[in-house]
Amino acid sequence: MNRNLKRHPIIARTINKFAHALSFHHLFYDFAPLLRRLLSKSLRFMDSLFFSYDDNNYDDNDVVSFDHSFSDPGESLFLVSYRWWKEAVCGGRISGVDIDSGVLYSTNVQLNESRGEWDMDIGGFGESEILLGMRREGGAGTSGQEEDEEEEEDEDRVSSQGDFSLVSEWMFLTALKWHYDRTGVGNLLNEGDSAHDLFSLQIRLLYAWESNLLIIKISQKDNEIGAFNRAYSIFCTKSRMLQIWDFSGQTNHLFVNDRKMDSDQSNEILLQLQIYGLSCAVKDKEMRKDDMLVEQSRIDGPSSSASLLMNGCQDKVNLFSGVQPSFSVGRGYYGTYALGLTGLYNLGNTCFMNSAIQCLVHTPKLVNYFLGNFRKDLNFENPLGMNGKLAVAFGDLLRKLWAAGETPVAPRLFKSIISSFAPQFSGYNQHDSQEFLAFLLDGLHEDLNRVKSKPYIQAKDEEGRPDEEVADEYWENHLSRNDSIIVDLCQGQYRSTLVCPVCRKLSVTFDPFMYLSLPLPSTTLRKMTLTVLSIYGTTLPHPVTITVPNNGSFKDLVEALGKACSLRDDETLIIAEIYHNSIFRILEDSDDLIELIRDDDRLVAYRLPKDVNESPLVAFEHQQEDKSYFHSFQKFGIPLVARMFDLSKESEIHKEFLKLINPFLLPCEEFLNDDDASQKIDHDNEQMEDIVLNGVANTDDKSAFNLDAHNDFEFHLCEPSSPKKPTKLVVTWPEKMIQDCDTSILNLLPEVCNPALAPKWAQESISLYKCVDAFLKEEPLGPEDMWYCPNCKEHRQASKKLDLWRLPEILVIHLKRFSYSRFFKNKLETFVDFPIDNFDLSNYVIHKNNKVSHRYMLYAVSNHYGGMGGGHYTAFAKHGLDRWYEFDDSHVFPVTEDQIKTRAAYVLFYKRI
């Protein structure tokens, strides 16, 4: 608020004067909470009016300062039907609220109307106002009395259960969700249902000390004519005293508990009141019956009854004119009213964030929590959190997404807050939705951690104790430091066992987990196509298709290709990846995984004799003159490879190259075989001396060797030889040789695999249970993860075994589709067949507890389409009992259950059955 006051000095001075006046009055402590709430709302409105601090226009560069005012939420006040509210409370949904906890107010209603001049701006008499005189009657002791159905349907009878209820925003949202859920099938509200009827009224509150009344003034000059008329239809058409129950607890601040207020200290307070589901409840017959009474009241003019005596002055400045509620209830995109079917605008590569958010905001118990009074759990003291900012930003975003009929939301403010917590998500680059989800859940946990001071706990050795005892001790120690809704719903526990390979020392720990990252084991074989070339000059390049294990290594690839080519014992294969007509890399590490080879890679296998002397490898790359540009060259074809120990003789280079291109010569040309080529070389050698190629030359080097300017080749040494890369010689082809050779064959280089052309039956498919098996499989630790054995006193490459011990209510499963190496990132397009209705992990949990179910039902999926370079994220979410929807950024549309299972499934969300 300090920042807001600095922005509005005039308001600040007014507030200071008002606070100074109240500080000397004995009622200040009763009035302060409501005043603080009012001022907070006023300043937030002024910020939104002048500085536009909202989700729809917030920028990452804006700095938002939060203080601990979140502990006093200052939520909107709602007026709803008492019967509608009681149904939700008695249904058990409103946690911490009892139907007997309200405060009853008997309310007189009066319509006052000035006979001033006609106000063209508001379309009527500007001084017309509705007065509600509320007298406190005490607790809601009679509210629990049950009435039969005939009494409830009798609108003319004075109900002992009251007419209206005042509730806070979280109470209203929770009740709205309860009514929405109980509709059952479809969960779409009919257009004529009164539950859509929400509108805002600007009201003036003051306390009439002479009559001990709380006065609510609804003035026509403060509201639009439509809103004022709707208020008139609600309050002024009843011919009896109204009963209003306050469950928000906010009106208590305006009563003085046997104290008197000085008349010169009372002021009207401007507030915004949200009215929900009441306009449509007014029956036409009741309106007709009460018309004469209302008209008589208007003719008689203002009442002089002492029960409506007011003191103080009116503030003619209405700062709240035109303010819209924090959310709206209106017509949905599909012509019906629905909750939770709101999209999120893509702010620029933020589909990863939108996908994860939509999965979380369709997690049932998480939705109920954030629609409810989640602010009571905000932790402002946790140095690992965001002082409540992240939880509040997420809660506000969730409430907007669960407002009926909302248009798509732009989550700019939320993105800025999460970027402050995890700076790697700042900017507008594409990110991993699972990585984002992990940071978000961790941040929400820290902001909502109910543990204010984390105790230090010394871990104990298992010392042969039963696993049950050790696991419970680990879990209790964890909960003593971590206690939040995220822990309640999303965290489980697994047992980790390490075994020393030398002394067999056993180490057992029980660690919490937020999600399971499952590998994708291969159960089928992968078909790969490579182009094979021979250095003998006898065969043309030809494709060879082989089948290899998808989880195999480059060694498996070479062995399978050798068998397919009938490789002799004195031969070897060198496999290279070709990119832009050059050798990009040699696949020389036999332990690298085949999955690092992408489907769109282009691989060439060179068939060479085994070289005992290890002569350097030479790669001939081809280029021809580009006639469209002066002195410009264009590369083409597959590089040809040979072994040459001496590159000092041009004649030897030329001879070796002619041998390599011999298969490409057309039959009618001069060079039909090796003998013809050798004769031509010998003739050239008689006329010139060998030229030594020294250093590195560019392709436009004027000193380059030229045997025959009309029909021969130029060779340019571009890269010196190195242990891991071949020496590159760029060959410039003359025009005549382009015509004499079939160079089109050199350009035939198929992809390793084209998934679009692969038959459907050949696509790999594995069960989600197989992924769980692979995750729990015992395996040795990597060289970089050596374990220090306390018995051997040395680091050992121990074997590790994971077991599921305690499963959470919400089970998040991450499918490890992305793999990484020194050079490449690759995505596995494996189809995972995951259960939807019954994912049973009973056989995988080693701690048997018959009281807890280990069966789960799918309710959301985060999908990733495309490759590593870009791609796009969407989400599937189950809405209601049996309907699925796809959330593609701002677009939301229904899908069938058959469409849920795709190769794009990346993060799965299950809830316990």
Which residue in the list 236, 351, 490, 500 is annotated as catalytic?
Answer: 351
DSSP state of 741: B
- Phi and psi dihedrals of 149, rounded to 5? -65, -35
Dihedral Cα 732, 734, 735, 736, nearest 10 deg:
-140
Residue among 654, 635, 665, 636 nearest 704 (CA): 654
Contact between 906 and 897 under an 8 Å Cβ cutoff? The reply is no
Dihedral Cα 365, 367, 373, 375, nearest 10 deg:
110
Gap between the Cα atoms of 606 and 533, Å rounded: 5
The CA radius of gyration of the chain, in Å to the nearest whole number, is 39
| Paired tokens of 458 | 């010394």
Contact between 158 and 286 under an 8 Å Cβ cutoff? The reply is no
Q: Which residues of 62-71 are buried (b: 16+ CB within 10 A; e: fewer)?
A: eeeeeeeebe
User: 253 catalytic, yes or no?
Assistant: no
Gap between the Cα atoms of 72 and 683, Å rounded: 98
How many residues would you count in the chain? 913
Q: Can you list the pairs that 296-301 forms with residues at least 24 positions away whose Cβ atoms lie under 8 Å?
A: 297/110, 297/111, 297/236, 298/111, 298/113, 301/112, 301/113
Residue among 422, 438, 324, 445 nearest 374 (CA): 445
**What is the residue whose two structure tokens read 């239809």?**
233
| Paired tokens of 57 | 């226009």
Report the run of H or E that residue 715 belongs to, with start and end: strand 714-719
> 3-class DSSP state for residue 855?
strand
User: 753 catalytic, yes or no?
Assistant: no
- Phi and psi dihedrals of 871, rounded to 5? 85, 175
Contact between 841 and 769 under an 8 Å Cβ cutoff? The reply is no
| Paired tokens of 357 | 């958010």
For 119-135, the three-class secondary structure string (H helix, E strand, C coil) is ECCCCEECCCEEEEEEE
Gap between the Cα atoms of 608 and 535, Å rounded: 6
Contact between 814 and 517 under an 8 Å Cβ cutoff? The reply is yes
Interacting residues of 820 by C-beta distance below 8 A, sequence separation 6+ = 826
Gap between the Cα atoms of 817 and 720, Å rounded: 39
Gap between the Cα atoms of 511 and 513, Å rounded: 7
CA distance from start to end of the chain: 46
DSSP state of 763: S
For 284-339, the three-class secondary structure string (H helix, E strand, C coil) is HHHHHHHHHHHHHHHHHCCCCCHHHCCCCECCCCCCCCCCCCCCCCCCCCCCCEEC
Which residue in the list 25, 478, 847, 872 is annotated as catalytic?
Answer: 872
| Paired tokens of 693 | 């190629």
Q: How many Cβ atoms sit within 10 Å of the Cβ of residue 321?
A: 12
Q: How many Cβ atoms sit within 10 Å of the Cβ of residue 101?
A: 15
Report the run of H or E that residue 397 belongs to, with start and end: helix 389-401
* CA dist 835 → 324, 325, 659, 722, 839 (Å): 44, 42, 59, 52, 5
| Paired tokens of 488 | 């309640």
> CA quadruple 145, 150, 155, 158: dihedral positive or negative?
negative
Gap between the Cα atoms of 661 and 391, Å rounded: 68
Gap between the Cα atoms of 325 and 621, Å rounded: 69
> CA quadruple 665, 671, 675, 678: dihedral positive or negative?
negative
**Active-site annotation, residues:** 351, 872
